A and B are shown apart, each in its own frame.
Chain A
């Protein structure tokens, strides 16, 4: 079923982002998650056996999706063409900028669900566990690229500032304000 979410990327940006599907995003994200699991194993303890579940993340404004099994240092992320028709234990769909806001704690997952800014299906218990583990992880953009120290702070400031601007530009939900 086609759904339109508030805060989706404008058409021009979608076109510019289209080549991303040809980049090795899956291996890069797999490495990033495994590196994070080595640095902060407690986050994956919190996830428990749900780490073996598969999570399909579908940015509604991109032609690619991500299939993730967040199993600690054995984690795996695959980048898929949207029309691959992949099934998973859990599917989460919403605009890219909103999904990224869930990762860094900018947005409250329940509020996004109430406002229908995201759609979910599949195993709700696995989704709740992942959401809570991510909430406690306090992920930053630097965690994804493995940057630390001064460089990490620079990456965080730049990316978070850029995402904030992009969310305002696209009309993404603002925390606390109605969608």
Chain B
């Protein structure tokens, strides 16, 4: 097998669905602020993680635990506990971003395999070499701002594994450094694990359609029947220069299925599917489809029509290859 398929699980049921649909690895997080999908009702208790890892291993799949928010100054206990619980549960790797958490893991859990989260935004050979040399990081998740060519050059200059997102929600900003959610709500994926925390999101309907509000700011309005997107500022519609438009990014999902072969050629080890906040229906369909796509490419067969098969699951009803093929660079 040339490419590892790394799939999301927000709940134990989603983990089982991902494994049964063909995930080589599943990533998940604990039910607290230590991971970047800290939504109500989502994630795993330590006991659920133990059970989930047992299930995954019994089916030949790995479990990677995301502990990828930035620890609070002077209050690192939750992150230390998460590392200890991940190791105790038998995690195959932890996905980290914060220097202090990486240092603690390397010092106190030397047997844990360390992956560097996209939240660390390591996009240069120098940065990646620092994480590899200092903490023994074995894999780096590529920031979603790089083109395939840039990833190929990067891989030629480093000697750790790399993982690239191929499907799902798309951050147009450099992850780990975006403050839009903090600006509007005081909470961010970087520190509290939530972008546009749901307690600040409200939808209201009137004869003009559905308005989306984030902490009182109206950030979009969808007409009847118009496709909707996530309630994030980066995908909001604003007026500038007398024109209303999506200023940063349209509501759209990443789909790099057509670039799987190119990413493999560029030296990528693993393909990552976004969506720990999504349901079992999404996990099953996306994982099954991408597993078929990877196997078809491995076998030199016909490309699977991923875009058509998954069209009903994407944000805003649209798909993009994102920065991987960005021409304006």
Listed in ascending order, the chain A residues whose CB lies under 8 Å from chain B are 1, 3, 46-48, 50, 105-111, 113-116, 119-133, 135-138, 173-179
Please tell me if the beta carbons of B198 and A127 are within 8 angstroms of each other in the complex.
yes
Please tell me if the beta carbons of A114 and B317 are within 8 angstroms of each other in the complex.
yes
Please tell me if the beta carbons of B39 and A132 are within 8 angstroms of each other in the complex.
yes
Expressed in whole angstroms, the Cα–Cα distance for A137 and B41 within the complex equals 11
Count chain A CB atoms within 10 A of each CB in B42, B251, B313 and give the residue with the most.
B313
Please tell me if the beta carbons of A125 and B310 are within 8 angstroms of each other in the complex.
no
Count chain B CB atoms within 10 A of each CB in A50, A113, A133, A174 and give the residue with the most.
A113
Q: Which residues of A contact B41 (CB under 8 A)?
A: 46-48, 50, 128-133, 136
Residue of A nearest to B10 (CB): A132
Q: Which residues of A contact B205 (CB under 8 A)?
A: 1, 119, 121
Residues 1-20 of B, flagged 1 when their CB comes within 8 A of A and 0 if not, give 00000000011111000000
Please tell me if the beta carbons of A123 and B199 are within 8 angstroms of each other in the complex.
yes
- Counting CB contacts under 8 A, is B249 at the interface? no
Residue of A nearest to B227 (CB): A114
Please tell me if the beta carbons of B204 and A131 are within 8 angstroms of each other in the complex.
no
Q: How far is the CB of A2 from chain B (nearest CB, A)?
A: 10
Listed in ascending order, the chain B residues whose CB lies under 8 Å from chain A are 10-14, 39-42, 197-199, 201-207, 210, 222, 224-231, 251, 277-282, 284-285, 289, 309-317
> Given contacts A114-B316, A116-B227, is CB(A124)–CB(B202) below 8 Å?
yes
Q: Which residues of B contact A47 (CB under 8 A)?
A: 41
Expressed in whole angstroms, the Cα–Cα distance for A138 and B279 within the complex equals 11
Please tell me if the beta carbons of B199 and A125 are within 8 angstroms of each other in the complex.
yes
Q: Contacts A105-B281, A121-B205 given; 9 further ones with Cβ under 8 A?
A: A46-B41, A105-B279, A109-B279, A114-B251, A120-B203, A128-B42, A132-B39, A175-B285, A176-B312
Residue of B nearest to A179 (CB): B312
Q: Which residues of A contact B314 (CB under 8 A)?
A: 111, 114
The 20 listed contacts between A and B (C-beta, < 8 Å) are A46-B41, A47-B41, A106-B281, A107-B279, A108-B282, A111-B313, A114-B315, A116-B222, A116-B228, A121-B202, A121-B204, A124-B202, A125-B201, A128-B40, A128-B198, A131-B41, A131-B279, A136-B13, A136-B41, A176-B285
Q: Which 7 pairs between the two chains have the least Cβ-Cβ distance? A: A132-B41, A129-B40, A129-B41, A136-B11, A108-B282, A125-B199, A125-B198
Residue of B nearest to A107 (CB): B281
